[in-house]
Structure 1
């Protein structure tokens, strides 16, 4: 692929220590969109100096940052990745492959943790959530990790509204509702650089669970039998 074939949205809050490595790992043709969510450590300036497109989102929240990046994207394909060093952007072509080939509409990176990368309380919460999602949707999902890939037009058609921790779950649920072909592929998950703001703390995990519970409650009604809306991941795909 030549040019910016893929825009990579990287929500960022005080990640100056990890940014150089993360941005250096982007494959050729992948453009970094670093969404600064109120950093005070110079992350935005470092990202800009390393050639990334920097978008500033003043409203705090993972969903707010992720969606601001999606709105700023212009490439046909969009990927999402944390920029704390826990996920390797070099893995993104593997996730994009099925989307580009037309065999999947949304590909999720299922985290395979290395030692010390995933606190026990966060791992337990993830197992419980994945089990509930399998029962609710029938999708074979084991993880709702932040690394994922799809077509930009399709993502915009989902009309995502959550601006906090429920954003990744809302994306999954609405993609399922609209009949998207969802696939999961394993990606390595390393210890992050610096201090976690969400699942690395008990308080952050509780907040994430609360946000996702609201999405699950809404999905129970949305997934009731009814007509399937058009709007898979590709333009013109029924």
Structure 2
């Protein structure tokens, strides 16, 4: 069975060779170039990846473009910056393949110094706690490595095209009665310059996007009378 791996990409030439070179057998990379000005697209093609160009900037825009361009029954998502090891993709997809879960997220465990700055870890912990209370899903991380079935994801009708996309996916999945789980994956120091978690400004922007999505998907019980 072939599984498509969607990799949103913005100027990741320093990392792509390592990431694509460690893709397991049966996992087909779909690199979504979100306006790179470096050699990312060229390197991706040279490594045998399918390259999709998404001119509209935004993490969610890139992820969704990859989802639309994929053709496999099961898809995975992961960052293209070498902070996650593709060799661990089978660990994330196993429960979906086995019919034990509908959506699985990789719970990041830092393995190298500086992999997960304190400000980014704190923001993630706060959002994950809110998500557990909201959905009942046993999640401790809004991990970017995840797996689900493509047709089911398309059926969720995801609309966010910024950093709220991963959170909206979980909220809509929970509202639809999906079985959601997480497994531990290694988290490494990224290669190249971070656009999000490596900077306080980037983290605050991501958190703001996710809070907006959380507010837009309030349960009836959350709303005032």
| TM-score, with structure 2 as normaliser | 0.96
Counterpart selection for 2:57 from 57, 60, 70: 60
2:70 to 33, 51, 73: 73
Superposed CA deviations along residues 70-104 of structure 1, whole A, max 9, x for unmatched, are: 00000010000101000001111111111011010
1-side partners of 2:55 and 2:217: how far apart?
A: 28
C-alpha distance in structure 1 between counterparts of 2:104 and 2:220, whole Å: 22
Q: Deviations over 1:99-129 (max 9, x none)?
A: 0110100000000012210111001101111
| Cα 1:223/1:154, change in 2 over 3 Å | farther
- Report runs of 4+ in structure 1 exceeding 4 Å deviation: none
**Secondary structure of the residue that 1:26 maps to in structure 2?**
coil
Shift of the alpha carbon at 1:8?
Answer: 0.3
TM-score relative to the length of structure 1: 0.91
**1:10 aligned to 4, 7, 12, which one?**
7
Is residue 97 of structure 1 aligned with residue 105 of structure 2?
no
Q: Helix, strand or coil for the counterpart of 2:57? A: coil
Q: CA RMSD in A?
A: 1.3
Give 1:189 shift: 0.1
Q: Distance in 2 between matches of 1:223 and 1:186?
A: 32
Structure 2, gaps ≥5 residues long: none
2:181 pairs with 1:183:
yes
Distance 1:79 1:137 in 2: 22
Please report how far the alpha carbon of residue 223 of structure 1 lies from its aligned counterpart in structure 2 after TM superposition: 7.6
Aligned residues: 222
Q: Report deviation, 1:200.
A: 1.1
SS of residue in 1 equivalent to 2:92: helix
1:1-238 paired onto structure 2 within 5 Å: 1=1, 5-114=2-111, 115-221=113-219
CA–CA distance in 1 between the matches of 2:63 and 2:137? 24
SS at match of 1:79: strand
Please tell me whether the aligned partners of residues 81 and 87 of structure 1 are also in contact (alpha carbons under 8 angstroms). Answer: yes
Which ranges in structure 1 are unaligned for 5 or more consecutive residues?
Answer: 225-238
Closer, same or farther in 2 for the Cα pair 1:168/1:37, shift >3 Å?
A: same
SS at match of 2:14: coil
Q: Please state whether the residue corresponding to 1:18 is helix, strand or coil.
A: helix
